[in-house]
Amino acid sequence: MDTEKSELAEHIAQTEHEINWKATGRRAPYGDNTRKRKIREAVDILAE
């Protein structure tokens, strides 16, 4: 696994954790504008 490109990959390599991708969810709806979606997701995370 190329851990230099991904913090998640680095975490998995160091801790041997596995990600249950079926249990994950999206924080903001998909849209054509990726930048706006990422901003909405960040605001949602900060508001928790």
How far is the C-alpha of 29 from the C-alpha of 32, rounded, in Å?
A: 10
Query: Which distant-in-sequence residues (6+ apart) come within 8 Å of 11 by Cβ?
Result: 17
Confidence of residue 2 (pLDDT cuts 50, 70, 90): low
pTM exceeds 0.85 for this model = no
The Cα–Cα gap between 25 and 11 comes to 19
Calculate the alpha carbon distances from 44 to 1, 16, 39, 47 in Å. 30, 28, 9, 5
- 7-43, pLDDT tens digit by residue? 888 888 899 888 888 888 777 676 778 888 888 888 8
pLDDT value of position 15: 92
Alpha-carbon distance of 42 to 19, in angstroms, equals 21
